[in-house]
Amino acid sequence: MIQELLRVERVNKTFPGVHALKDVSLKIGRGAVLALVGENGAGKSTLMNVLSGIHQKDSGKIFIEGREVTIHSPLHSQHLGLSIIHQELNLVPHFSVAENIFVGQEKKRGGIFLDRTRTLREAKTVLDRVGLAIDPNVLVRTLSIAQRQMIEIAKALSRNAKLIVMDEPTSSISGREIERLFRIIRDLKANDVSVIFISHKLEEVFAIADRIAVMRDGEMIGELDSKQSTPDAVIQMMVGREITDIFPKTATGTAEELFEVRNLVRAGQKQPLSFSLRRGEILGFSGLVGAGRSELLQAIFGIDAHESGEILLEGKPVRIGSPKDAIGLGIGFVPEDRKLKGLMLGLAVRDNISIASLDKISRRGVVRNGAERISVDEFIQKLRIKTSGRDQLALHLSGGNQQKVVLAKWLAIRPKILIVDEPTRGVDVGAKKEIHAILDMLAGEGVAIIMISSELPEILGMSDRIIVMHEGQITGELLRREATQEKILTLALSRETA
């Protein structure tokens, strides 16, 4: 019989105007993997914040190993054996890898002096355990998002936790890194460490979890045995309705070439890159983490420099030396990290939507409030953004609605071209369907879309053409009718062009 590790009984939590958790109960045994799923706003993060001591429950009980506890703070949660890896990574950029792993649990000599040799040695041990071959002296700010994610996991392992909560742990890592993560989870399970695995990727949930707990609107809807259930059953419990046609692709693009990149060479990259984009087309960019997709499109948008090459818009050469140049040409850019690079979380929905199109709603440098209200309300309605009003802070929106606000910001400039980098990362299945419908609608209106995605079903389901990259090089181009997962992966793993 499996020994119970954690039990949550009828926990409630309210915020002003929101009943975030409603009589939520949950339990997990030692050495078990429990997947926690639900749409954005279902209450998953609030429940984890209660377990981590960030929020205090209003009522209910929490038991660890049969003993009732009140979790006062994140440090208290760690002392109780709980380790939470949040979706927004909690690393200090200007600290080294080793310093980040042992922050708050520094290795000291005589209880006073930092033992640097021991710190580096033990950091190397835990990095080896997650399969990350990097120097523990390296500063975290120099690392990729995928590498930072693995460091968060290494930090949790270093604390010898009894329960590790992983909130969207695969959102920024590649297929091979996901397999490595799953090996780590299986190793934890074998050593009686429990894992709560929060993910919107149901194929991963079914691959790694023993049981699946489903939340909706702050309530625990029920639990399923992963071996005796199906993704469709989970989706129906998550959304309270059947989700069909996740990829509502109707627009097919035109033959008119709108945009062309000729022999572009990015700083530090020797291989010239060329591709074209048609009006009303969704052009997908696929590849593994580190393939250079984001870097290429950041260079096109003027975020990163390029050393040579030519960019043509509607057949005419244009110069893009900064994002301002790109915006002036009618190009929008939805970045991969919406919270860090796409939104001003402390400002209102109104401000976030208006920021890129101030020239259209201003007169002599002064914002016309009436014009701003009309523009903002148009996109709140058009994109069905769930908000209490245009003055609600972006911070308080769900992930899917935050992503819609980022989209609205760029739609407000009336773009000819929209670049979207991982447009549905970290959003639930319902919001994913809505975002896909928005992209399809825009393509139908003649907007040309460049879409980076690490999810092969999304690339296959939404793209008219697919460009595959490997280590900074374009290795192939596939039409929608001929593309398969096998062909894309072959090109993504190969240096050879096709």
Give the range among 109-123, 314-328, 433-447 with minimum mean pLDDT: 109-123
Do 449 and 361 fall within a single domain? no
Do 364 and 441 fall within a single domain? no
Q: How far is residue 374 from each of residues 218, 356, 366, 442, measured CA to CA in Å? A: 33, 15, 16, 20
pLDDT for position 68:
95
pLDDT for position 285:
95
Helices 399-411 and 369-382: crossing angle in degrees, nearest 10, is 130
Do 184 and 115 fall within a single domain? yes
Quick check: 138 pLDDT over 50?
A: yes
pLDDT for position 34:
96
Do 218 and 298 fall within a single domain? no
Q: How far apart are CA 272 and CA 266, in angstroms?
A: 8
Look up the domain containing 160 and give its range: 4-239
Do 144 and 289 fall within a single domain? no
pLDDT for position 292:
86
Do 21 and 151 fall within a single domain? yes
- The pair of structure tokens assigned to 40 is 């954005």
Q: Does residue 338 fall inside a structural domain?
A: no
- The per-residue pLDDT for range 290-303, each reduced to its tens digit, is 788 999 999 999 99
Q: Does residue 335 fall inside a structural domain?
A: no
Using pLDDT thresholds of 50, 70 and 90, give the confidence band for residue 497.
Answer: very low
- The per-residue pLDDT for range 95-106, each reduced to its tens digit, is 888 888 888 777
Interior angle at CA 156, CA 155 and CA 162, nearest 5: 155
- The per-residue pLDDT for range 320-352, each reduced to its tens digit, is 999 999 999 999 999 888 877 888 888 899 999
Using pLDDT thresholds of 50, 70 and 90, give the confidence band for residue 20.
Answer: confident
Q: What is the mean pLDDT of the chain?
A: 86
Quick check: 310 pLDDT over 60?
A: yes
Quick check: 446 pLDDT over 90?
A: yes
Which of 239, 256, 282 lies at the terminal end of a domain, its last residue? 239
Using pLDDT thresholds of 50, 70 and 90, give the confidence band for residue 494.
Answer: low
Quick check: 142 pLDDT over 90?
A: no
Q: How far apart are CA 39 and CA 216, in angstroms?
A: 7
- Average pLDDT (423-442) is 85
Do 146 and 49 fall within a single domain? yes
Q: Does residue 498 fall inside a structural domain?
A: yes
Q: Does residue 336 fall inside a structural domain?
A: no
Do 367 and 498 fall within a single domain? no
- The per-residue pLDDT for range 214-268, each reduced to its tens digit, is 998 889 999 999 999 988 888 788 867 555 566 777 777 778 899 999 999 987 7
pTM of full prediction above 0.75: no
Quick check: 477 pLDDT over 90?
A: yes
Do 228 and 152 fall within a single domain? yes
Q: Does residue 464 fall inside a structural domain?
A: yes
List Cβ neighbours of 229 (8 Å cut-off, separation of 6 or more): 206, 212
Of the chain, the percentage scoring pLDDT greater than 70 comes to 94
- Average pLDDT (415-438) is 87
Q: How far apart are CA 472 and CA 70, in angstroms?
A: 51
3-state secondary structure the chain: CCCEEEEEEEEEEEECCEEEEEEEEEEEECCCEEEEECCCCCCHHHHHHHHCCCCCCCEEEEEECCEEECCCCHHHHHHCCEEEECCCCCCCCCCEHHHHHCCCCCCEECCCEECHHHHHHHHHHHHHHCCCCCCCCCEHHHCCHHHHHHHHHHHHHHCCCCEEEEECCCCCCCHHHHHHHHHHHHHHHHCCCEEEEECCCHHHHHHHCCEEEEEECCEEEEEEEHHHCCHHHHHHHHHCCCCCCCCCCCCCCCCCEEEEEEEEEECCCCCCEEEEEECCCEEEEECCCCCCHHHHHHHHHCCCCEEEEEEEECCEEECCCCHHHHHHCCEEEECCCHHHHHCCCCCEHHHHHHHHHHHHHEECCEECHHHHHHHHHHHHHHCCCCCCCCCCEHHHCCHHHHHHHHHHHHHCCCCCEEEEECCCCCCCHHHHHHHHHHHHHHHHCCCEEEEECCCHHHHHHHCCEEEEEECCEEEEEEECCCCCHHHHHHHHCCCCCC
Using pLDDT thresholds of 50, 70 and 90, give the confidence band for residue 442.
Answer: very high
Q: Does residue 81 fall inside a structural domain?
A: yes
Are 291 and 472 spatial neighbours (Cβ–Cβ below 8 Å)? yes
Domain count of the fold of the chain: 3
Q: Does residue 443 fall inside a structural domain?
A: yes
pLDDT for position 498:
45
Which of 407, 426, 447 lies at the terminal end of a domain, its last residue? 407
Q: How far apart are CA 398 and CA 392, in angstroms?
A: 12
Using pLDDT thresholds of 50, 70 and 90, give the confidence band for residue 40.
Answer: low
Using pLDDT thresholds of 50, 70 and 90, give the confidence band for residue 484.
Answer: confident
- The per-residue pLDDT for range 57-98, each reduced to its tens digit, is 999 999 999 999 999 998 899 889 998 887 667 788 888 888
pLDDT for position 154:
85
Where residue 289 sits, what CATH number does that domain have? 3.40.50.300
* Largest separation between any pair of C-alpha atoms in the chain: 74
More confident residue, 155 or 254: 155
